[in-house]
Structure formats: C-alpha cells, structure tokens
Amino acid sequence: MGSTPSLPAWEIRNLANTTGFTSEQIEILHRRFLHLTDGKTTMSKDCFDNIPDLDCNPIKSRIVNAFFDGRNLGLQTSGTVDEITFENFLTTLSFFQHMDDNHTKEDLEYYKNEKLQFLFRMYDTNGDGKITLEELREIVDELLSKTSNAEKTSSSIADAAMLEAANICVGQMIAKNPAKEQAINFWKAKPLCPGTDSLAGGKYELAS
Amino acid sequence: MALAGGGSRDTRGLCRLSLPGYFILLVTLLNNAEATSRNESILHGQEVEGGNRHPDSSKIHLSRSLTNQEERLSVFSLDYYHVQIPFEITLWILLASLAKIGFHLYHKLATIVPESCLLIIIGLLLGGIIFGAKERSPPVMSTDVFFLYLLPPIVLDAGYFMPSRPFFDNIGTILWYAVVGTLWNIIGIAVSLYGICQVQAFNLSDITLFQTLLFGSLISAVDPVAVLAVFEEIHVNEQLHILVFGESLLNDAVTVALYHIFKSFCQMRDILTVDIFAGIAQFFVVGIGGIIVGIIYGFVAAFTTRFTQNVRIIEPLFVFLYSYLCYLTAEMFRLSGIMALIACSMSMKYYVEENISMKSSTTIKYFMKMWSSVSETLIFIFLGVSTITNTHEWNWAFVCFTLLFCLIWRALGVIVLTQIINRFRKLIITRKDQFIIAYGGLRGAICFSLVFLLPSHIFPRKHLFITSTIVVIFFTVFIQGMTIRPLVNFLDVKKTNKKQPTVSEEIHIRFFDHLLAGVEDICGQWSHYYWRDKAKKFNRNYLSKLLIRDKEPKSGIVALYKKLELKQAIELAESGQLSKVSSSASLLNKKPQKINNVSPDELKKIKDILAKNLYQIRQRTPSYNRHSLPRDTNENQVKEILIRRHGSLRESMRKTTRAKQSDAVKNSPFSQPQNARTTTRPRKKNVAFTVGEDSNLETDSLQLDNLSQSKLRPSPRHQEACGMEWKNEVHRENDRSQKPNSFGYDGGGVGSGNDSRRRPALKKPRTTSDNLEHHYNEHRRSRQGFVEFSPDNWRAESACEEDPEVNDPLIRKPK
C-alpha cells in the first residue's frame, strides 16, 4: 500500500452516515487505525499491544474484547471475531459519542439504551445475558489488581455490590428472560450513577 | 433539630427563659465594651481613646471599693483587667453560640431566614444597644482579627471537606469563572462607577479611576463565607454547588492580587509599563505561589503523620498547625492565603486520613466544624455590630449605582462566560444553573474587611466606600440570601441527590474511568481521563509510597467499602429504634425471587468477611495514660446495644417470616458451635470492640480470616447472618486461650444458660436464622438474612434521614 492510504470520499460519507462521526473525525481515526494495524486493513487483538499506556490499564482485556465482541458489531452470533475492519472499529467507538440535544427524545432514549447495552456486554463476559456474581467479582478483581489487595476483599466487595443491587430492585435483578433489561433497568434505577449519565451522555468526545 | 410537637411548648418556655439570659449577657457585654473602649484590646479597631481607666470602673456595679486612702486588707476583691481580654473573647464566642441555639429553637424561623441574616440582625441589635448606651461607636472588628483568626478556620473547613472529584472535574469551569469572571466584574464595575462619578450632579468627582478600580476589586469578589452559609441550606445539585463555591474560593487569588496592585498604583505618582507588567506577573505569582505553598505544606503534614503512630493523641494538632502555618506563610509573602490553605488541605487530606487513627480523624472533623462554625457566627455578628456607627457617609447615587452595577455585571458576566465555556463542556450549564450562579454571588465579610484596610490618606471618601460596601453586603445577604431558596424551588433546580454512595456505584465509576481512559489511549487522543489516569498512577507509585505509612495504597473502592461498613456498624450501635425494623419487614413482604447465582460457600465467605470487617476487638487492660486514649467504658455498652438490636431485628423478622410461612418452624440447634457454647468462663469485662481503631482494617481482616478459618471449623449452613458479627469477636481472644466462640456463640443457645445476659438476646437469632435456612431456598434465605441488614440500614439511612448530612454530627449547619 502507499504511504498513508486514505479512504475514498464516498466511503467516508457512508461511514459518517452509519456511525455518526464527522468526516474529520473519521479521517483522524482512520489514520490511527492504520497506525495501529501497521497498514493492514483488518485489526486483530495483538494490535492493541502496541499502545503502551493501555497496558497499565487494569481492564485492558475487557476493552480489547469489546472491540471484538460480536454483539457490539451487530452480528447475530455472540462469539468474538478475530479480525475487525475499520468499520467495525468505528462502530465500537461510536458508542462513546456525545449525544447532543439535536436528536429527538426517543432517539436519545434509544442511544442511551444502546450504550447501556454495550456496557452490559462488557461486564457480561460469557455472553449469557446475565451478570453473575462471579463476573462481578472478576471485575472488582481486575479493578483492584493494580493495588495489592487480597482476593477476599474484592470478592466481598463484589458481594456487597450485588446485595445493594438486590436492595434496589428486589427480585428484578437476575431471574429470567429478559435479564438484560432487568439489569439495565437496575442500572437506570440506580440513583446517582454519574458515570452512567456521563457515558450515556457521552462524556467522551473526540478532539480533532 | 427535630423537636417534636410536644416539645415545642418546652422550647418556647426555654426561649422565654433564655431571653432574660440574653439581657444579662448584653448588660455584661455593655460594661465590658465600655471598659474595652478605654483600653486597647484586639476587639478595638479604629477608636482608641485615652487611657483613663479607673474613673470608669466606678460605673461598673461590681467595682471594687473606692477607698483609696486606707490600705486595709480586702477580703473580696475584683480584678477585671487581669482577665479582660480572654474574658471578653470568650463572652463574644459564647454569645455567638447562644445565638445559634436560639435560632434553632425557633426552627420555623430558621427555614425562612438563613442563619447569616439572623446573625447580622443580632449584631445590629447589639451594636445598636452599645451605640445607644454609650453614644459612641461600638468596637469594630479589626481587619487583622478577621484575616488572621476568623477566616482561616472557615477556609480550612471548606478545603478539607471539598469533594475532590467534582471539584477537579469542573476545575476548568471554576477557574474560568473565578479568574475571568472576577476580572470582568472588576473592570465593569470600576469603569461604570467611574463614569457615574464623572457626572457632576452627584458630587463624586474627586474619585479617580484607580480608586474605583480598587473599590471594584474588593467589591466584586464573591465571598465564600456567605456563599457557604446560604448554599448549605438550599441543597442544590452538586455541580452547581461546587461551581459557585469553588469560584468563591478561587477568586481570592484575583482579589488579593488586584487589590494590592491597585493600592500600589493609587499611591504611585506615575505608572510605567513596567509596573503594568509587574502587576500581571504579580497576579500569577499570587495565585500559583499560593497553591505551591499549600501543596508543600500539605505534603509535609502528610509526611509527618506517617510517623505519628506512637503519639496518636496529638495527631489532630499536626493537621491544624500545618494548615495555619501554611496560611500565615502565604500571607507573609503576600500570596493568596485562601488558595494556599485550600491546596494544603486538599493535598493533605487523602494521605493524612490514611495515616491517622479513626479517633484522630473524628477529632479533626469535629474541631474543624466547630471552629469554622464559631468563626462564621462571629463574623456575621461583627458585621452587624460594625454597621452601627456614626461615621457613615451616604450618597444616594454612589450607593445605588454600586449595587446596581454589581448585580448587572455579575449577571452579564455569568451569561457571557457560560456561553463560551459551554462549548468546552459536556454537561452544559443550563439557564437555570446560570441564574443560580449569578444570583448566588454573595458578598460578605471579606469585602468588608478589605474596605477597612483602605488607606485613608489616599481615600478621602473612605466612609462612602464603607457605606456602599455595607449596603451591597446587606443586600446580597439578606435579599438574595432569603429569596434564593424559594427561587430554587420555583425554578425547580435540580437538587442534590441525597442517596448514600453505594459500593456498586463506586465500582462502576472506577470501571468507567478505566474504560474511558483506555479508549482514549486507543484513539490516541488525550483528554480529561487521560490526565486523571496519569495523576492516579503518579499518586500510586510515588506519593503514596512516600507519604502513607504502610505503603499499601488503597483503592477507592476498598476505602469506600470500608467506610460504608464502618458507618453501618456505627449506625447499628447508635440507633436502637425498632422502627427501622419495620422497613425491613416490608421488604420481606415482597418475596424476592430466587437468586440462583450465589453458591452456598461463597455466601458464607461473603458474610464472613463482611462481618469481620464490621468490628474488631481489642483486649486491653484499662489504664490511665496521659499519652493514650483511655479505654472507653461505653464500648461494652455499645456492644450490648448491638447485640440487643440484632436480637430484636431477628425477632421481628422471624415474626414476619412466620406469618408468611405456613410450614412448621423447626428448631434444631446447631451442631457445630456446640462445643463453643459450653464455655463457662466469665467474659472479661474489659474486652470491647472498637470499630476500625487505628490499624489497617484490611490486614486485620486477613488475620481475622486466617484465625477464624483455622479455629472455627465453620460449617457452611450455620454461618447465618446474625451470628456473623460475633465471629470476629473471637479472634483476639484466641491468643488468650479462651474458647474461640466464647463471645459470639455463648449467648446462642439452647439451654446453656450461663452468666451472660447476652444469652437470651442471641438465642433468638440462632433460631430465627435457623428457620430461615430451613424454610427458604438457601440462597434466598441467606440473602434475606443478610438483606435484612443491608436494606434496613442502607434504606434506613436514606429514608430516615432527610439528608444524610443532617444527622451526621460531623457536618455542621443542621437545618
């Protein structure tokens, strides 16, 4: 390939329509994508190892997996894919967009739901649509992994969190079908989770 | 604060009783004030009259006998001057505190009128009485007293309890408002006032531009004391609160710098460009220098507390000493003392809290709150007192226009600045927020003190400035202070969310932080989260190792978790109301569905560890030692209360579950702890538990875990929730060769009636939870057994208190 192959304009427009990024942002991201993949058109998991700062991140593997999760990419299967294209890359990143007030209320609600689903999938590693105590424990473990704590504390923390969840929506948490909605309702019902608001509101915004 | 209806009659009676008390106090103060006026005291600002002391003492009705000729031995004598200064100071503080009691007895009044207004009114009354009786101006609060003694506690309190996360999230906006906003205000007010002064009709033409600039620089500053006083009572949402409050703190740098600059400019003959650049440079030096001084002192304080484990009793002193030194150092170098103090307390807090004991931490909190509360009260009272003077100069135009321009320029400034800053913010500041920010720009005692500092020889119209400052302050505090609450309600501004922080929130917030930082790394963009991540890493790797004693940096999740546990334990120990039990009962009515993801031994582990973290027991023989805290005899009682409460909780829960269940209640005793229960050793009286006393909870919990695991041979089923708490009562005594479960399981039992009065209390828990375990699905049961605690407390904490902060004795300003 050439030095920095750029996307043809029609493709940029296409992507802009589907993902909601502006063309500038798409170009920047494309450059970054090529930098990470060393010029190839598809990205695999080890491309993320090139980022030094990401290695210190305790939930690195989850983040990386989120890019390869089939559910995020809109595929029907719930496994992980091995290679993602630039479009998939953008799709995953689009979950972090800032939703301004230009959209209608239903749209905003829909986007918020989508974001929460994305988050849910990050927690739910085995893909069964439920967040179990074990999964929560793993999360807490990972979050605490950079500080030298014993596992006991983390598991008890996770349990306490689970119990809190039970308090807030007793009986709704995990039961049957539609478990995902229950969990999402739980998250919405949870008071003052500024992070959820910010993620749903899209605190992350690309700077060009 | 919450006085029941029946009590109101008593309180009114009490008020009527206290009124004569007030008058006596006033009379005493009167005489003291008179005596003061003849002497130099620190309460005496401007007027020092000749020192003819003795003739006036004759007017005091408690004076000594006037026999100057004879030198008989007097049996009873009075020497007031010996104790005068401390006596008067104490009387003033006492008056302030009594005033506070007085307001809250009339709690209806306190809801309409903010406390600051009431205090000013009292000050006015006092000043009026003193003035009327003496035909002289009452003592004026000296500027030194204000800046050196009264202001630092308030600022320290504000900085120490500043929620750092929202503060740093919004730091850009806060700085924007504080710096640029204040500059805008200053220039606007100064220029427009100068324009007004040029109008010949107003008789103001001798006021120069620099004078108005100086005046503008002191009148534009939003005052943290006033803002705090008013905003604490209206409970707006956190972001709004932090914006206004942060602005009021950080604009001190601008104020101090510009005040000195313009004062120097006023005194200089001609201004060179060098001076202007020096002025700008001075501004930066003042602000950033203050912060640096603060951070240095903060870290030194944190480092010092690393070594204080043997002198726990003076730990709080270090915090206060270093903070005060920091403030004084900054003032010495003419830097911004407020910013230094804020930086010091914020940087110190995290590390100090890790190093010091629980008791020291509580002490620090209480003392800070107390001092800042007293300071604030005194400031407002003095404001009132100092207003009554016959040296006012009134000029309708100047005063009215000053007030008008203050309001207009503030509103304009907020609107314009918000338009600009909203482009850089994700969570934009709405119109309602803007209105509250503009409306909440109260002026207060800082402007008042600064205006007294104006040198009279350059400011021939000084009294005019004083008068207009007073008018502005009164207007903002009274009118704006009183109306802001109804306006907040009317505009339906988002109020603060009064829920307790939960562990899962903390987990999610951390998760989001890492997630967003990671995505930023992937995209190669740096932003907010990147810097925060970097700061945290730096903190963890370097600072914490240096400044924290045990070299184990704790995660925020763990810290919060432990804090919640402690709070829960304390709450359990302090309460005793069965009303909370009913809420748990109602929860049980909902019949939670089966939760199928918790395996039994995991659940047991949960309860193990959670329970262990609740309390710890120390076994110490009581001794009186000047250098350590004496053993609390209350702790035994606390434990008793705890056990009883758990017993009663269990009982009520058992009743409701019995009502629900139709199955027979099985009553099998436990097999496992039988051996433990058969101990007959009398319990040592001096064993008590302290909650989280000065060691690392975590390592203790690990030790506990090991000990209990090794010694208890737990069987999965029988570790029910209620018995849990007593398990860790066990650990330390294991060393002392007592039976392992002597405490906890002693009481449990079926018929091993021995010496402990705890026995009956624990008996029910045993059977209750037993029932639970037999009749429900075991997960559900155990969950209920445990859920009975958590919703009870977590819900109780949120439902039974209007505001978690109100009942927290550590927060001042009860409503």
- Encode pLDDT of B741-791 as tens digits: 333 333 333 333 344 343 333 333 344 444 444 444 444 444 443 333 333
CB-based burial, B652-670: b 16+ in 10 Å, e otherwise: bbbebbeeeeeeeeeeebb
Does residue B462 carry a pLDDT above 70?
Answer: yes
Judge whether B550 is closer than 8 Å to chain A, CB to CB.
Answer: no
Q: For B336-371, give one letter per residue: b (16+ CB within 10 A) or e.
A: bbbbbbbbbbbbbbbbbbbbbbbbbbebbbebbbeb
Residues 145-164 of A with CB under 8 A from B: 146-150, 152-153, 155-164
Confidence of residue A203 (pLDDT cuts 50, 70, 90): very low
Q: How far apart are CA B418 and CA A16, in angstroms?
A: 30
Is the pLDDT score of A88 beyond 70?
yes
Name chain A contacts of B519, Cβ cutoff 8 Å: 63, 93, 96, 204
Per the structure block, which two tokens stand in for B448? 């008042």
Minimal C-alpha gap between A207 and chain B (Å): 7
User: Which positions in chain A touch B513 (Cβ < 8 Å)?
Assistant: 195
Q: Output the CATH code of domain A105-188.
A: 1.10.238.10
Q: Which two tokens stand for residue B747?
A: 């009481």
Size of interface A-B (CB pairs under 8 A): 196
Mark yes or no for CB contact A193/B509 under 8 Å. Answer: yes
| Residue B688, H or E segment | strand B687-690
The alpha carbons of chain A give a radius of gyration, in whole angstroms, of: 19
Query: Residue B659: pLDDT above 60?
Result: no
At residue B14, the pLDDT reads: 44
The topology under which CATH files domain A11-96 is: Recoverin; domain 1 (1.10.238)
pLDDT at residue number B557: 66
Q: Which residue has the higher pLDDT, B636 or B654?
A: B654
**Which residue type is seen at B96?**
A
**Facing residue for B499 by CB, picked from A192, A198, A202:** A192
B27 touching A (Cβ < 8 Å): no
Residue among B592, B610, B701 minimizing CB distance to A160: B610
pLDDT the model gives residue B93: 84
Q: Identify all chain A residues contacting B524, using CB atoms and an 8 Å cutoff.
A: 32, 35
- Report chain A residues whose CB lies below 8 A from the CB of B499: 191-192
For residue A31, pLDDT over 60 is answered with: yes
Q: Higher model confidence: residue B559 or residue B476?
A: B476
Non-local (6+) Cβ contacts of B4 within 8 A are none
User: Could you tell me the pLDDT band of residue B141, with boundaries at 50, 70 and 90?
Assistant: low
**Do A152 and B702 count as a contact with CB atoms less than 8 A apart?**
yes
Partner B, chain A 27-66, Cβ-Cβ below 8 Å: 29, 32, 35-36, 48, 51, 53-54, 56-60, 62-63
pTM: 0.62
Q: What is the pLDDT of residues B81-121, one digit of tens each?
A: 888 888 888 888 888 888 888 877 877 777 778 888 888 88
Residue of chain B whose Cα is closest to the Cα of A31: B523
Encode pLDDT of B236-251 as tens digits.
888 888 888 889 888 8
Residue A194 reports pLDDT greater than 90: no
In this structure, of A29-38, B106-115, B314-323, B611-620, the range with the lowest mean pLDDT score is B611-620
**Which among A63, A132, A157 has the least Cβ separation from residue B518?**
A63
- Give the chain A residue whose CA is nearest to the CA of B796: A167
Residues of B (788-807) whose Cβ lies below 8 Å from A: 790-791, 794-795
Q: How far apart are CA B328 and CA B326, in angstroms?
A: 5
Contact between B606 and A190 using a beta-carbon 8 Å cutoff: no
Residues of chain B in contact with residue A53, where contact means CB-CB under 8 angstroms, are 521, 530, 533
A92 to chain B nearest CA, in Å?
A: 10
Q: Nearest 5°: CA angle at B58, between B55 and B62?
A: 150
pLDDT of amino acid B452? 80
Contact A96/B519, CB-based, under 8 Å? yes
- Over range B721-748, report the average pLDDT: 39
Average pLDDT, integer, range B316-340: 91
Lowest-pLDDT choice from A192-196, B169-173, B377-381, B656-660: A192-196
Taking 90 as the threshold, does the pLDDT of residue B297 lie above it? yes
Please tell me the predicted confidence (pLDDT) of residue B706.
Answer: 44
Percent of chain B at pLDDT > 90 equals: 6
Q: How close B232 gets to chain A, by Cα (Å)?
A: 20
Residue B322 pLDDT > 90, yes or no? yes
pLDDT winner (highest mean) among A41-55, A74-88, A124-138, B453-467: B453-467
d(CA B85, CA B196): 45
Minimal CA separation from A155 to chain B, in Å: 7
Q: Which of B298, B307, B299 is nearest to B549 (CA)?
A: B307
pLDDT of residue A66: 77
Of B23-32, B94-103, B203-212, give the range with the top mean pLDDT.
B94-103
CB within 8 Å: A150 and B509: no
B323 confidence band (pLDDT: 50, 70, 90) = very high
Contacts of A166 in chain B (CB under 8 A): 592, 595, 783, 787
Residue B765 tokens read as 């828990």
Which of B132-136, B144-148, B638-642, B799-803 ranks highest by mean pLDDT?
B144-148
Contacts of A60 in chain B (CB under 8 A): 518
Chain B interface mutation, best of A170, A190, A198, A206, highest count of B Cβ atoms under 10 Å: A170
Instruction: Select the residue of A93, A157, A167 nearest B790 (Cβ to Cβ).
Output: A167
Q: What are phi and psi of B733, to 5 degrees?
A: -70, -15
pLDDT at B516: 79
Render B759-792 in DSSP notation, one character per residue: HHHHHHHHHHHHHHHHHS-HHHHHHHHHHTTHII
B383: enclosing H helix or E strand: helix B358-387
DSSP B493: P
CB nearest A149 (choices: B516, B558, B602): B558
Interface test with A, best of B170, B528, B562, B597 (most A CBs within 10 A): B597
- Judged against a pLDDT cut of 60, whether residue B494 lies above it is answered with yes
Q: Nearest C-alpha of chain A: how many angstroms from B470?
A: 41
User: CB A59 to CB B522 under 8 A?
Assistant: no
Name the nearest CA neighbour of B215 among B475, B466, B394, B476.
Answer: B466
Tell whether A190 lies on the interface with B, counting CB pairs under 8 A: yes
Amino acid found at B452: F
Predicted confidence band of residue A149 (pLDDT cuts 50, 70, 90): low
Cα A75 from Cα A91, distance rounded (Å): 12
Tell me the mean pLDDT in the region B476-505.
Answer: 77
Quote the minimal CA–CA distance from B420 to chain A in Å.
17
List, as ranges, residues 675-704 from B with C-beta within 8 Å of A: 698, 701-702
Q: DSSP for B230-281?
A: HHHHH-B-HHHHHHHHHHHHHHHHHHHHHHHHHHHHHHSSS--HHHHHHHHH
Lowest mean pLDDT among B22-26, B272-276, B306-310, B456-460: B22-26
What whole-number percentage of chain A has pLDDT above 70?
Answer: 62
Q: Do A164 and B504 touch (CB under 8 A)?
A: yes
Q: Where in chain A is the domain with CATH 1.10.238.10?
A: 11-96, 105-188
Please indicate if any CB of chain A lies within 8 Å of the CB of B609. yes
Strand partners, B689: B617
Q: Please report the pLDDT score of residue B25 as a whole number.
A: 53
In B490-615, the DSSP E strands lie at: none
> pLDDT category, B340, cuts 50, 70, 90?
very high
**Contact assignment for B602 to A167 by CB distance below 8 Å:** no
To the nearest whole number, what is the mean pLDDT of chain B?
68
A161 contacts in B (CB within 8 Å)? Answer: 502-504, 507
Whether B561 sits inside 8 A of A143 (CB atoms) is no
- Rounded to an integer, the average pLDDT of B313-338 is 91
Q: Is A153's CB within 8 Å of B605's CB?
A: no
Q: Find out whether B689 and B729 touch, Cβ atoms under 8 Å.
A: yes
CA B301, chain centre distance (Å): 20
C-beta atoms of B557 and A157 within 8 A: yes
Rounded Cα distance between A152 and A150, Å, is 5
Share of chain A above pLDDT 90, in %: 0
Measured distance CA(B742)–CA(B728) in Å, rounded: 11
CA separation for the pair B111, B106 (Å, rounded): 9
What's the rounded Cα separation, in Å, for the pair A184 and A178? 10
Residue B362, pLDDT > 70, answer yes
- Among A122-136, B47-61, B290-304, B364-378, name the one with the lowest average pLDDT: B47-61
Band of pLDDT at residue B591, cut at 50, 70 and 90: very low
C-alpha span between B744 and B642 (Å, rounded): 12
Chain-chain contact of A163 with B701 (C-beta, under 8 angstroms): no
